Structure 1
Amino acid sequence: MTRYESIIQSGRETAQIEMSAIKRLVDQIGDEFARAVEMIAENSGRVIVTGIGKSGIIGKKIAATMTSLGTAAFFMHPSEGIHGDLGLVSEKEMIIAISKSGKTAELNHLIPLFRHYGCRIIAMTGNLDSQLARIADVTLHIDIEKEACPFDLAPTSSTTAALVMGDALAIALLKEKNFRLSDFARNHPGGVIGKSLLRVGDLMHTGDEVPIVQHDARMRDALLEMTGKRLGMTAVVDPSGCLTGVITDGDLRRWLCLESADPDRPADSIMTRNPKAVDKKIPAREAMKIMEQHAITVLVVTDSGNSNEIRKRPIGVIHLHDLVKSGIRYTGKGYAE
């Protein structure tokens, strides 16, 4: 066997061992898991995740995942806990303590102190006979056959099992709490995730910022409206307030090129009919796609979503600059941050 073949084999063996640990975990998820989810979902306080070493690192990730998916959580290091951070604790908090052996001295020192505050304890351990398991209200068994480490010492399979159990809790809680995509968007305003979840309604101009003139308005009035609102267009509406067209900078230039650019000419004789319109609920990136495909820089936002119909009332305007400022860019092949 060559050196490369040996390296590849080692990598595959590690993956197989950890996959086996996850498969073993599936059978360990049962009534205790359901009780843990129910306890957390019904609890009015936060979740405190704690652990030492590699278990602590996994605990930080579990706390972060729970928080992002609607269950407020934070990590507390046991050493920091017994040196002041217990001041963050109240009887409303729920504790998740992670320890493969269940015998971690620092952790077992901290757990009775949580009890003193009236907190309920969820243990995540591979040892059901441990002190941690005995003191906990609920114990989530994360027993593994062996670590991927050839010495069966370094936490590998055991931390993978703990991580998966934490993810299982977070997702079950998401469903239990009816956590919605809109909630997820509120928790992730930045980065690619945040940009992908932005809606037109989050970025559009509304109220007095929206340029609107009546269909029988004169061009002098339309020009004043466009100049004052500075969006390069104005919507044109009928007496009932429904959108009938738009006047853009391009329409304005074409009008000025006429031999007689009469400022008293009716706006609806200059406007572009059947303009593109979008609903405020569509993804902002889709609005940019429409702009790119039709070579326009602004869209009217109406109170209904079918852009093929114009008998709708304008409630806002979305400009290409608004999308660019938010960080959305459409390349023709997709979206980039």
Structure 2
Amino acid sequence: MKRGIRQSAATVFAGMLAFAAGGAGAQSYPTQPIRLIVPYSTGGVTDITARLVAPYVSEALGQQLVIENRSGGASIPGSEAVARAEPDGYTLLLTSTALAANPVLFKKLPFDARKDLAPISLLATVPTVLVVPTALPARNLKEFIALAKSRPGGLDYGSAGYGSGNHLTTEVFKSAAGIDAQHIPYKGGGAVMADLVGGQVSFVFAVLPTAYPFITSGKLRALAVSGATRNPALPDVPTVAEAAGLPGFSIQEWIGIFAPAGTPRAIVDRVNAATVKALRNPELIGKLNGLGLEARGGPPEALRDYFTEESDRWVTLAKKVKLDKVE
């Protein structure tokens, strides 16, 4: 009995030492550069946001955030790398809408985002805009819908990949507008925009930061934004709801930072505080707003709740649109 008591006491003592060591590590964090994995290629909105925000968060933390692009696989491999990483705060994930939507698109995922990732901060919400090549004979959204209906399946749309935000937004729009179009998935937002400008695809629901330079230079025509209200960056472009008479249509993408589950709360709070400080910087706010992004921030619980709501919303939308899961 005494031996059992001694072993139990030793176990508790070891746990206390481990906890104390973890607490000390969290207090000194960070002592080295931090990997910020972006599960998309360069040139897309998630990558653009990462490169805008990272320098400000780095300054607040006193250590550099090193961006690592791990594109492909509907953002799953890059996200899994963080979910499986050591929960020490030195590997973080900066990702977007697909993290919430992938469970309704794929029959089996190698990780559970709700269990395997710890929310840190919501960075920004991102409207999308329906853009077409200037050669397409549709000057507004009603003309576009009429054109699509006159050519069932004859128009094709590009996306940054299966499960990407522009793929999902387009599928919801197709269902609401009663049109059909063929999906052409790419490996990133930059590639699809290049082909859209070249006329290889008919339209894209592109995130505003990616589409904006093409719109302002006259290379693409903006027909409607997907959010509930017009965007200040494109004040003359109507919403889908008002342009097509589709009340209630409102979809926007979002971007947030996550850590591996089990990351000490002190580290999560440290990164959150640095991120919130960055998002309050007028210079960064101006850069984000200039691309049509709305800076968000807030505590980790705000991202947790937002992510839960988004996940549940995509379950509902998937049933309505009848999205088929893939292997």
Greater relative contact order (CA < 8 Å, ≥ 6 in sequence): 2
Q: Does TM-score exceed 0.5, indicating one fold?
A: no
Instruction: Compute the TM-score of the two structures, normalised by the length of structure 1.
Output: 0.25
Instruction: Compute the TM-score of the two structures, normalised by the length of structure 2.
Output: 0.26
